[in-house]
Amino acid sequence: MERIQEYAKIEQEPKPTPEGVPPAYWPASGELIVENLSAKYSADGPEILHGLNFHIRSGERVGVVGRTGSGKSSLTLALLRCILTEGNVIYDGIPTNMINLDALRTNITIIPQVPELLSDTLRGNLDPFGQHDDATLNDALRSAGLFSVQSEDDEGRITLETAISSGGGNLSIGQRQILALARAIVRRSKLLILDEGESWMISVTRGFVLTKILYSNFGHRLRDGHGDPELAPYQPGIGCDIIHDRP
């Protein structure tokens, strides 16, 4: 009973309010402005991000590069308001602390190193609410590079009707990552975060991704540059670098 009471008293996240509903057009772009952002995991804990400032323009590809423990994942959590933050994060002209959490988080897509899939068909994983037609879903799979790594004659070829086991256990990690990319494309998120994107993205898929979607890439290294990447100055307190690749 004591344990149940302890769980019942866990601090809750803010509930949605009418004032926190963003305009219907938002977000119209992926512009992200971060001003003096600091973050910590608990009210009495140490700061793990200190006074970050950067500006990501719409259409930019950005890499956040640093060693383990440098703050890359913490920055992701701070952008999603999953941890305690101070400072300003402005997403397409609106401070994120003025937006309901459900609206903010449904408009930012994160692809983890090992994506999780539902026990359903591929169609159900890409479009769980049945909002899109087959043409849209197949276009997303093509853009993610699935059709470039399998042919029409492949036995066991993945289609919209392919059954997916719990967690995607009947697919390879590479296939699961491709499907996660396709799911992100279907959602048409203006801001897409790839956790360790460079460590798993196969070269044939990589070309599709870079030409089709905007992404923010959090990783230990940036394997090679595209266009004319600009290395931002090292920012004390985060321990990693931010690399801009302008379109």
How is 73-113 classified by DSSP, letter by letter? HHHHHHHTT-SEEEEEEEETTEEGGGS-HHHHHHTEEEE-S
pLDDT confidence of residue 159: 87
- Looking at the chain, the whole-number percentage of residues with pLDDT higher than 90 is 32
Question: Which phi and psi (to 5°) does residue 32 adopt?
Answer: -135, 125
173 lies in the same domain as 210? no
101 lies in the same domain as 196? yes
Number of domains in the chain: 2
What are the tens digits of pLDDT across the range 172-202?
877 888 888 888 889 888 888 887 655 545 4
For residue 44, what are the domain limits? 30-107+189-247
| Rounded Cα distance, 70 and 20, in Å | 32
Q: Which domain-ending residue is among 166, 188, 210?
A: 188
Residue 193 included in any domain: yes
80 lies in the same domain as 125? no
Q: Which domain-ending residue is among 173, 188, 203?
A: 188
Residue 15 included in any domain: no
183 lies in the same domain as 227? no
- Burial pattern 146-165, b for ≥16 Cβ within 10 A else e, equals bbeeeeeeeeeebeeeeebe
| Rounded Cα distance, 23 and 155, in Å | 47
Residue 3 included in any domain: no
| Rounded Cα distance, 20 and 106, in Å | 14
58 lies in the same domain as 160? no
96 lies in the same domain as 140? no
Residue 8 included in any domain: no
What are the tens digits of pLDDT across the range 104-134?
998 998 887 778 888 999 999 999 889 999 9
